[in-house]
Amino acid sequence: MARVRRAPLSFVVLLGGCGFLGTRLPATNRVLRHASKQPVLEAEEVEPTSFSMVVGGPAAEPQRKVAMITGASTGIGLATVEGLVASGRYSTIIMAGRDLQKHQDAIEGLREKMPNLTQPVELRYLPLDLASLKSVRSFKESFDEVCQQLDTLILNAGVMALPERKQTEDGYEYQFGVNHLGHFLLTNLLMDKLAASGSGADPSRVISLSSSAHQIPSKLLKGDLGNLQSDEYTPWGAYGQSKLANLMFAYELDRRCRAKGLPVTANAIHPGVVNTELWRYTGTGTSSPFNFLPVKNLTKPLLEYVLKSPADGAQTAVLLATKPDGKLSGRYWQDGRPTASADFDPFSDLPGAAKELLPFRPKLTSYDPEVWEKLWNESEVLVGLRPEDVTCF
- Count, in order, helices (H) and strands (E) of the chain: 10, 12
Going from the C-alpha of 300 to that of each of 73, 235, 293, the distances in angstroms are 21, 20, 11
Of 90, 125, 172, 239, which residue is the catalytic one?
239
Active site residue 239: yes
CA atoms of 126 and 194, how far apart (whole Å):
18
Q: Among 84, 83, 80, 62, which Cα is nearest to 71's?
A: 80
Helix or strand holding residue 52 (H, E) = strand 50-55
**Helices 369-383 and 235-260, packing angle to 10 deg:** 100
Residue 22 in 3-state DSSP? coil
CA distance 32 to 27: 15
Burial of 171 (0-12, 13-18, 19+ CB in 10 A): exposed
Give 207's DSSP letter: E
Cα separation of 268 and 316, whole Å? 10
Query: By the 8 A CB rule, do 365 and 244 touch?
Result: yes
Q: Which residues contact 282 (CB under 8 A, 6 or more apart)?
A: 160, 161, 288, 289, 290, 299
Q: How far is CA 114 from CA 9, 15, 38, 86, 281, in A?
A: 27, 12, 50, 8, 32
The DSSP symbol for 180 reads I
- Per residue in 227-251, is it b (16+ CB within 10 Å) or e — as a string? bbbbeebbbbbbbbbbbbbbbbbbb
Distance CA 152, CA 187 (A): 11
How far is residue 329's CA from residue 268's CA, in Å, rounded to a whole number?
9
Active-site annotation, residues: 239
